Amino acid sequence: MSQIEGTVDNPKRALREQDRSMPDKENRAIFAVNAQRRKLKEQVFYYLIFLATLSALFVLVYLIGSIFSDGWPYLNWDFLTNFPSRFPAKAGFKSAIYGTAWLGCLTLFFSVLFGVGSAVYLQELSAKGRLSSGIELSIATLAGVPSIIYGMLGLGIFVRFLALGRSVLAGALTLSLLILPVIIIASREALKSVPDSIRMGAFALGATRWQTVRDHVLPAAIPGIATGVILAMARSIGEAAPLILLGALTYIAFVPESVFDSFTAMPIQIFNWASRPQAQFHDLAAAGIIVLLGFLLICNSAAIILRSRWRAK
């Protein structure tokens, strides 16, 4: 009641305060009921989410299981070292493996060069303004464009306009374009998370922006950038659609010797085998998928090991 005494000089306010204190008890009761209901809700959600995870896991295990049971018998040295053939027994994956290796190396080179370069420019060097926020928005949008559109772009620009033909170079440039937005976004986030105190320390020594970025900010951001690059590369290695649109060949009995040679790639070869009527080719496709998965696994583990080494340093 002392509360009301203190405000008698303002009776209206005293009343209001009283009003407010009245429903307090009811509120408390409601809270109590709420707590029980919330507990129930939480449990329901917990089981729903658990079920969702379980079913996703089940589908994954089933897929991998069926792929292994189909493909495993075909997975031998001949499969890895033979060129594709009309006869399933003689058909191999060699040109696809080489093609993907070529594509992977070139794509890594171009996308890191241009992706990390753009990220550094946008995040560290350029003036922040309307232009840069416009660019930011378009990059975020580009990250969501379907890969087949990039295939059309690559066909128009690299294959036809720059006359690179259906070469492994044109394919790699197209894939680089495809993953560039993801790499730029991830690299910018990594740069953003480097504390400003490091930059200020460097600037206070008379460093230019570029010297500061090169020697302190970029090295500190490498682990984050590497994560983005790994994820993006994994995506590019599995892409078939843009390469098919580009006109990559599906039947190739040689390996590329230069960046201007034509090529095939693992996902294309897999797609080709899977779309044939004979069941044996379907099993070959399964074997190809196993190789592709193994390839991704090796690349990712290597990258993760490199990254943790860097971090430890």
Partner 1 sequence: MVNSHSSSILETRNLNIYYGEKKVIRNVSLKVPKRTVTAMIGPSGCGKSTLLRTFNRMNDFIDIFRFEGEVLFEGTDIYRSKTDVTEFRRRVGMVFQKPNPFTSSIAKNITWGPQINGYRGDLNELVESSLRKAALWDEVKDKLNDSGLALSGGQQQRLCIARAIAMDPEVILMDEPCSALDPQSTLAIEDLIHELKQNYTIVIVTHNMQQAARVSEFTAFLYNGDLIEFDETSKIFSHPAEKLTRDYIVGRFG
The alpha-carbon radius of gyration of the chain (Å, integer) is: 29
How far from 39 is each of 34, 44, 151, CA to CA, in Å?
8, 9, 50
Cβ distance to partner 1 smaller for residue 209 or 282: 209
What residue type is 213 in one-letter code?
A: V
Indicate whether 220 belongs to the interface with partner 1 (CB under 8 A).
yes
Cβ distance to partner 1 smaller for residue 206 or 277: 206
Paired residues of 4 in beta bridges: none
Cβ distance to partner 1 smaller for residue 215 or 257: 215
Q: Which two tokens stand for residue 113?
A: 């060069």
With b for 16 or more beta-carbon neighbours within 10 A and e for fewer, the 80-103 pattern comes to eebbbeeebeebbbbbbbbbbbbb
H helix runs in 143-278, sequence order: 147-154, 168-192, 196-203, 209-212, 218-238, 241-246, 266-274
Indicate whether 192 belongs to the interface with partner 1 (CB under 8 A).
no
Indicate whether 105 belongs to the interface with partner 1 (CB under 8 A).
no
Q: Which residue among 90, 128, 160, 192 contacts partner 1 (CB under 8 A)?
A: 128
Task: Single out the segment in contact with partner 1 by CB under 8 A; choices: 71-79, 102-110, 173-181, 204-212.
Answer: 204-212
Q: How far apart are CA 271 and CA 147, in angstroms?
A: 16
Indicate whether 198 belongs to the interface with partner 1 (CB under 8 A).
yes
How far from 198 is each of 194, 195, 211, 283, CA to CA, in Å?
8, 6, 12, 55
Q: Which residue among 1, 33, 163, 205 contacts partner 1 (CB under 8 A)?
A: 205
Indicate whether 55 belongs to the interface with partner 1 (CB under 8 A).
no
Task: Single out the segment in contact with partner 1 by CB under 8 A; choices: 62-70, 97-105, 212-220, 277-285.
Answer: 212-220
Task: Single out the segment in contact with partner 1 by CB under 8 A; choices: 195-203, 249-257, 283-291, 299-307.
Answer: 195-203
Indicate whether 213 belongs to the interface with partner 1 (CB under 8 A).
no
Place of tokens 């090796």: 298
Cα angle value 97/102/105 (rounded, 5°): 120
Cα angle value 243/249/250 (rounded, 5°): 100
Q: Which residue among 2, 36, 197, 258 contacts partner 1 (CB under 8 A)?
A: 197
Indicate whether 211 belongs to the interface with partner 1 (CB under 8 A).
yes
Cβ distance to partner 1 smaller for residue 138 or 208: 208
Secondary structure E strands in 162-227: none
Cβ distance to partner 1 smaller for residue 121 or 203: 203
Indicate whether 201 belongs to the interface with partner 1 (CB under 8 A).
yes
Cβ distance to partner 1 smaller for residue 32 or 204: 204
Name the site residues for partner 1 (rule: CB under 8 A): 128, 195, 197-208, 211, 215-216, 219-220
